[in-house]
Amino acid sequence: MLEQVMNQYNEAVMDTDRDQALLVVRDALALGVTPEEVVFNIVVPAIELMMKAISEEQGVTLAQHFMAAQIASEVVDDMVPRFRKAPESVGTVIIGTSQGDFHGLGKRIVSGCLKAMMVEVTDLGLNVAPERFVDEALAHDAQVIAISSMMVHTAQGENGCRRVRQILKERGLERRIRIAVGGAPYRFDPELYRNVGADAWAENGITAGRVITGLIREVRP
């Protein structure tokens, strides 16, 4: 039964049909599928399937990419409170767009994928000051600050990742908090992340989950 549900869910996600995907989940619960099975046997494999399609250039569109993440986020938010035992969090991430940047689509995709991977996400929204990234990371005991920039000048600007790195250094936090970046400028120049002081970058929203969870493992006790 799980395989059939998974196929129906994947089909709905690929069709960017949110309502059908949620209906598949509701019907599965009614048939006795557990909330844990919904997340770990249906939603997470769907994210991994999308990741594989992207890496193999199978013609996945931005709409499919976005919808997979949004549905995953919505389902996980609904299922986790129903778990018989609270799942162990992989870690915590603070995410937002760099100061001066108001393009939030990529950030929303990343947030949805991270939630499906049991990462706690605090989304600071758009146009985030570097000091706020660091302050919120400390307040939430986050292991990673994820900064999205869709324009070259916000990626390279002095109020973006460079300033976040400087603040971490000034406060002696570099061993405790990692920085991940993403967005169009980094796809055009894969070495740009090093120049702005980040620890890693991700080419797209779904692979960002893999990159960020790797950074969490580097610093989490």
pLDDT digits 0-9 by tens, 181-204: 999 999 999 999 999 999 999 987
Give Dmax over CA atoms of the chain in angstroms: 55
pLDDT digits 0-9 by tens, 204-216: 766 888 899 999 9
- Average pLDDT score, the chain: 92
User: Does residue 56 carry a pLDDT above 80?
Assistant: no
All residues at 6 or more sequence positions from 136 whose CB lies less than 8 Å from its CB, including other chains: 94, 122, 124, 142
Q: What are the residue boundaries of the structural domains of the chain, listed by start?
A: 2-82, 91-219
pLDDT digits 0-9 by tens, 97-145: 999 999 888 888 899 889 988 999 999 999 999 999 999 999 999 999 9
Percent of the chain with pLDDT over 70: 98
pLDDT of 52 reads 78
Whether 141 and 120 have beta carbons less than 8 Å apart is answered as no
Q: Strand 119-123 relative to strand 144-148: parallel, antiparallel, unpaired?
A: unpaired
pLDDT band at 88 (very low <50, low <70, confident <90, very high): confident
User: Which of residues 139 and 52 earns the better pLDDT score?
Assistant: 139
pLDDT of 211 reads 94
pLDDT of 87 reads 86
Question: First-to-last CA distance in the chain?
Answer: 39
Task: Give the residue-averaged pLDDT of 75-99.
Answer: 93
Which strands form 119-123's sheet, in the order they lie side by side?
119-123, 91-97, 144-148, 178-182, 200-202
Nearest to 198 by CA among 211, 184, 217: 211
Model pTM?
0.85
All residues at 6 or more sequence positions from 158 whose CB lies less than 8 Å from its CB, including other chains: none
Task: Give the residue-averaged pLDDT of 72-101.
Answer: 93
CATH T-level topology, domain 91-219: Rossmann fold (3.40.50)
What is the Cβ-side half-sphere exposure of residue 117, based on CA atoms within 13 angstroms? Answer: 26
In which residue are the tokens 């940047």 written?
A: 101
With respect to CATH, is domain 2-82 assigned 1.10.1240? yes
Can you tell me the distance from the alpha carbon of 98 to that of 96, in angstroms, rounded to the nearest whole number? 7
pLDDT band at 221 (very low <50, low <70, confident <90, very high): low
pLDDT of 206 reads 67
**2-82 shares its CATH topology with 91-219:** no
pLDDT digits 0-9 by tens, 159-184: 999 999 999 999 999 999 999 999 99
Can you tell me the distance from the alpha carbon of 199 to that of 109, in angstroms, rounded to the nearest whole number? 20
Whether 5 and 28 have beta carbons less than 8 Å apart is answered as yes
